[in-house]
Structure 1
Amino acid sequence: MTEPANATLPTVDARIHPRGGLDILSRAEVAELADASAGGMHDLLRRCALAVLTSGSQSDDPRAAQELYPDFDIQVHQLDRGVRIDLHKAPAMAFVDGDIIRGVAELLAATVRDLAYRAIELDEEGGRDLDTSEGITDAVFGLLRNARVLQPSDPNLVVCWGGHSINREEYMYTKEVGYQLGLRELDICTGCGPGAMKGPMKGATIAHAKQRRRRGRYIGVTEPGIIAAESPNPIVNHLVIMPDIEKRLEAFVRLGHGIVVFPGGVGTAEEILYLLGILLREENAGVPFPLILTGPTSSAPYFEQIDRFIRLTLGDAATERYEIIIGDPAAVAKRMAAGVRKVREHRLAQRDSFFFNWSLNVPLEFQRPFVPSHEAMAALDLHHGRKPFELAADLRRAFSGIVAGNVKEDGMRRIEQHGPFLIHGDTDMMQSLDALLRAFVEQRRMKIAGEYRPCYRVVA
C-alpha cells in the first residue's frame, strides 16, 4: 500500500517487498545500509536510490534530484521471510496508480543488493585482496556474479559506449545500430544512462521482439559517482553498481564480447583510452576484441579528431585495434557479429569462459582507483617517450578527472573550492588535448543543459 505525502513535488510513502534478485539480507548488511554516520553507507544508498526512482531524468546535475526531493529517505528492513524497503517522500514519478513501477522496483532492489554486497565483501574485513591485480579482478567477478549477470551462454553481449549529451541525429543513429545488433540476436550492455546509452537498448528491444527473443538482456553498469548524474534509463533490466570507475570499466571489458563506440565527450574518451591501453599490452596482442567507432555522417569529423589524438599520443599501432565505420548501422552490426564469432572460437581454443573474459590482462595501473585531486591531476605524466599503455593509463586518468569535475559531486566540490584542475604535458600533446576538449564544449558534449564552465585548464 502507498500513501501520498505532502511536498512541493508529488511524493509517495511506500513499503516495497522486492521480488527476485534480493531475496535475503543479513543483519550485518542491514546495519551497514542504515549507518548514517560520516563515511557510513546510508547517504550513498539514499543518493543511488533517488537516482533510480527518478529513472529517465534528463538532468546530468547530481545535485538536482536531491534539491527537488530533499526529504526523501529509504530504510531497509530484514524480515523473517525476506526484505522490506520503506520509502519516505519518494518521487511520485516512480509510481502508477499507487503502485511502484515494476522495472523501477527491480532497479531499486539491485541498488540495495550491490551496496550491501560492497559494504560487507569489499571492506577491510571482507577478506579480499584489493592491492593486487588478481584480487581486484576477483572482486569484479564477485560483484557481477552476485548481480546474476554472468550467464554461461554463447557469446552475444555487445557493450555500447557513447555520450549522455548527444544530438538528435546521433541518438537516432544509436537506435538504428542497436536495432541491427538486435536483429542478429545480440544483447546490449551500456553505462545505463540517457543518450548513447539508451538508444542502442531501445533499438534492440524492437529487433528482439521481431526475432521473438523474449529474454533480451539490457545490462546497465554504473558506479555511485555517476548514477546520480546519469539516472538509469527505463529499458535497463539488469543494473549493476560497481564501487568505482575502474571496476566499472573492468566489468565492461570482462563482460562484453565486443564494443561499439558512439560519439561522446570526456567519459567516452576515457573509455576508449582505457581499452586501448589494455589492448596495446603485449600479453593481449592475440586476444580478439572487436572495437568499432561509429556515428552518422555528420559525426565523421568527431571521429577524425579522436583518431588524430590517438595517433599522436599512442601511435599508429593503437589504431590497428579499432575500426571506424561512418553512416552504416548494418555494416557495424555485421562486423560486430563476425568479431563475436571470432571471440567464441578463441575462448573455445583457450578454454576460457564465455561469460567472463579471464584471459584479458588488465594491469594494476588500470585497476587502482584514481582520486582526481588537484595535486593528482597536476602530477600526471603526459609526455612522449613512455610505453603506449603507460601513457594511455595517465591520459585515461586525465579524462576521468574532467568527468569528475563535470558531473560527480565530489569533483564538483573540489572545483568550487580550489578552481579548475591544471593538466600539464608536452606541448604538442597538450595542444591536441586542448583542441579536442574545446570541440567537446562547442558540440555541447560536456553537459546536457546550461552553460558549461570548464573544470580544467590545459598547460603546455
Structure 2
Amino acid sequence: MNDTASGITRSPDSARPTVDARIYPKGGLDVLSRDEVARLKDASSGGMHDLLRRCALAVLTSGSASDDPRAAQELYPDFDIQVLQQDRGVRIDLVHAPAMAFVDGVIIRGVAELLFAVVRDLAYTAIELGPEYADELESSSGITNAVFGLLRNARILKPAEPNLVVCWGGHSIGRNEYEYTKDVGYELGLRGLDICTGCGPGAMKGPMKGATIAHAKQRKRRKRYIGITEPGIIAAESPNPIVNHLVIMPDIEKRLEAFVRIGHGIVVFPGGVGTAEEILYLLGILLREENARLPFPLVFTGPTAAAPYFEQIDRFLRLTLGEAATSRYDIIIDDPAKVARRMTAGIRQVREYRIAHKDSFYFNWALKIPLEFQQPFAPTHEAMAALALHRGRASHALAADLRRAFSGIVAGNVKEDGMRHIEAHGPFQIRGDNDMMQAMDALLRAFVEQRRMKISGEYRPCYQVTS
C-alpha cells in the first residue's frame, strides 16, 4: 500500500481535523472493472456513491463510541471518497477524511484494509447482485450461492480445520459484562479458536481483544478476527480496531446466513434486540426437522450479574418456541473456561459430522435455511403490524416472524432509514397473542432499563406492543 496525504486541515463546517489523501491499495483490491468503478461513482438515486461514502466514513472512524448513524456524518459533513480505475490499478481519493484514521499523514494500515474491504464488497454487490440477477435471488439456493460468492470474494473461505466461533452480544453493555467477554475470548484463544463477530463495540470487540492475548501466548500465526456487518448497521456500529477481515453483506438476512454458514459454534453474550433477533433466527432454523441432527454448539453466557438476563431470555423462548428450543442451547454462567471447553467439544462433533457427510469445513452447506429466513424484510409500519405473532403456528414459522419484529426494532433504533420512518410516522405497532406480547413487552422493557438499547443518551422507544 502506497499513499500520500496533505496536511491536517479543518473542514469548514466542522471543528474536527481532517486530511486529504490519495491511496493506492495493494493486495486483494488491485483492480476493479470500469463498470464497478462507474457504479461506485454514480451519485444518482440508484447509484452506490452515497452508500460508499457512509460505509467508508464508518471505517475511517473505527473505534467510535457512538451508536448514532448520523453522528459521523454531522462531524464530517464535507467528507467524500472517489474510486478511480487507472492503468496500473485502483486509486482512492479521500477528501476531508477524519484525521483520527492517520498517523503523521499516513493512513493507519488496519483502517486502510477495512476501507479496501468496503470498496471491494460494495463493488462486488453492485455487479454480481445487481438488478439483472434479481431472479436468481428469489430462490433459497440462489441466495445461499450469493452469500457464498460474497464470502469467497472477501477471501474468508479458507480450507482449514474447523475452529471459528461466532460471538453475538450487545454493543451497549456494562463494564463487568465487557470484561467477561474478554475472559471468554481469552479462553477460546488459548484453545486455538478464531473469533467472528458483528465487528462493532461491546460484546463484538471483547472476545477479539481477549483472543489476541491468548493467540500471542500460544504463538498462533494465522489469526482471524472476522467482522460481518451490513450497510444499515455499519454506520451505527463502526468496526472495532481488532477486526482484520471485514465483510459487508447487502442486508441483515444475508449477514445472518453468513454467520451460521461459516461459524462452527456460537457463543451468545448479553445484548439487546439485535441479539434477540440473532437467537430467534438461529433457533428457528435449528428447530426445523431437516436440521434436527445437525451438530451446532450454542452457548448463552455472561457473568453472575447476567444470570437474570438469561433466565428472562430462556422464559421467553420457552413460551414462544416451546420446550424443544431449550435442547439446542446451554446456559453457562460465570465460567469462561467451561464455555471454551464446551465450544471445543462441540466443534469436534461438527468436524466429525462434516467428514461423515462429506461437507466442507469452511462453509456449512448441510444447514437447511428456508426462504422465509433469507428474504429481506423491509420494516415498514404496515409490515410490522402485519406480523403473525400467534400461537398454533409451527415453531420455526413463529420464530421467523418474531425475528422480523426484533429486526424492525433494530432498524428503528440504529438504522438511518428506520429512524426516519419512526420520526415521520411514530412508533411501530407490534400485535399478537396477549401472553406472548406481555412477555415481549417485559423483555423489551428490561432491555431499556438495563441500557441495552442505546450507548448514551435517553432512549425513546420506536415501538408499541399491544395484544
Q: TM-score range by the shorter chain?
A: over 0.9
- Whether the aligned pair in 2 keeps the contact of 1:177 and 1:330 (CA below 8 Å) is yes
4+ residue runs of structure 1 moved beyond 3 angstroms?
A: none
Comparing 74-83 and 47-56, the one that deviates more: 74-83
1:381-411 deviation digits (Å, cap 9, x = unpaired) = 0000000000000000000000000000000
**TM superposition shift of 1:19:** 1.8
**TM superposition shift of 1:5:** 2.9
**TM superposition shift of 1:128:** 6.5
Correspondence 1:6 to 2:10: yes
- What is the aligned partner in structure 1 of residue 237 from structure 2? 230
Correspondence 1:170 to 2:177: yes
User: Which residue of 37, 42, 57 maps to 1:35?
Assistant: 42
Residue identity opposite 2:10 in structure 1? N
- What is the aligned partner in structure 2 of residue 50 from structure 1? 57
Alignment of 1:404-415 (within 5 A): 404-415=411-422
**TM superposition shift of 1:81:** 1.4
The two structures have a TM-score, normalised by structure 1, of 0.99
Correspondence 1:272 to 2:279: yes
Please give the root-mean-square deviation of Cα atoms over the aligned residues, in Å. Answer: 0.7
User: Which residue of 376, 387, 392 maps to 1:385?
Assistant: 392
1:310-345 deviation digits (Å, cap 9, x = unpaired) = 000000000100000000000000000000000000
Alignment of 1:344-383 (within 5 A): 344-383=351-390
1:275-316 deviation digits (Å, cap 9, x = unpaired) = 000000000001000000000000000000000000000000
CA–CA separation in structure 1 for the residues paired with 2:44 and 2:435 = 48
Matched residue SS, 1:129: helix
1:426-445 deviation digits (Å, cap 9, x = unpaired) = 00000000000000000000
Matched residue SS, 2:173: coil
CA–CA separation in structure 2 for the residues paired with 1:55 and 1:128 = 36
Correspondence 1:26 to 2:33: yes
- Whether the aligned pair in 2 keeps the contact of 1:140 and 1:250 (CA below 8 Å) is yes
1:36-60 deviation digits (Å, cap 9, x = unpaired) = 0012100000000000000000000
- Whether the aligned pair in 2 keeps the contact of 1:296 and 1:326 (CA below 8 Å) is yes
Correspondence 1:67 to 2:74: yes
Correspondence 1:157 to 2:164: yes
Change (3 A) 1:419 1:278: same
Matched residue SS, 1:275: helix
CA–CA separation in structure 2 for the residues paired with 1:59 and 1:39 = 29
User: Which residue of 316, 324, 327 maps to 1:320?
Assistant: 327
- Whether the aligned pair in 2 keeps the contact of 1:166 and 1:195 (CA below 8 Å) is yes
Alignment of 1:191-270 (within 5 A): 191-270=198-277
Matched residue SS, 1:71: coil
- What is the aligned partner in structure 1 of residue 137 from structure 2? 130
Matched residue SS, 1:232: coil
Residue identity opposite 2:305 in structure 1? S
CA–CA separation in structure 2 for the residues paired with 1:30 and 1:6 = 29
- Whether the aligned pair in 2 keeps the contact of 1:382 and 1:395 (CA below 8 Å) is yes
CA–CA separation in structure 1 for the residues paired with 2:111 and 2:33 = 23
**TM superposition shift of 1:116:** 0.1
Residue identity opposite 2:97 in structure 1? A
Alignment of 1:174-189 (within 5 A): 174-189=181-196
User: Which residue of 420, 426, 433 maps to 1:426?
Assistant: 433
CA–CA separation in structure 2 for the residues paired with 1:400 and 1:128 = 25
- Whether the aligned pair in 2 keeps the contact of 1:180 and 1:330 (CA below 8 Å) is yes
**TM superposition shift of 1:127:** 7.5
- Whether the aligned pair in 2 keeps the contact of 1:128 and 1:139 (CA below 8 Å) is no
Give the gaps of 5 or more residues in structure 1. Answer: none
- Whether the aligned pair in 2 keeps the contact of 1:185 and 1:208 (CA below 8 Å) is yes
1:105-164 deviation digits (Å, cap 9, x = unpaired) = 000000000000000000122487000000000000000000000010000000000000
Aligned residue-pair number: 460
**TM superposition shift of 1:250:** 0.1
Give the gaps of 5 or more residues in structure 2. Answer: none
CA–CA separation in structure 2 for the residues paired with 1:336 and 1:269 = 21
User: Which residue of 124, 149, 155 maps to 1:142?
Assistant: 149
CA–CA separation in structure 2 for the residues paired with 1:46 and 1:177 = 35
- Whether the aligned pair in 2 keeps the contact of 1:121 and 1:127 (CA below 8 Å) is no
CA–CA separation in structure 1 for the residues paired with 2:344 and 2:127 = 39
Residue identity opposite 1:149 in structure 2? I
**TM superposition shift of 1:215:** 1.6
- Whether the aligned pair in 2 keeps the contact of 1:191 and 1:222 (CA below 8 Å) is yes
1:189-235 deviation digits (Å, cap 9, x = unpaired) = 00000000000000000000000002210000000000000000000
User: Which residue of 77, 85, 94 maps to 1:78?
Assistant: 85
- Whether the aligned pair in 2 keeps the contact of 1:121 and 1:128 (CA below 8 Å) is no
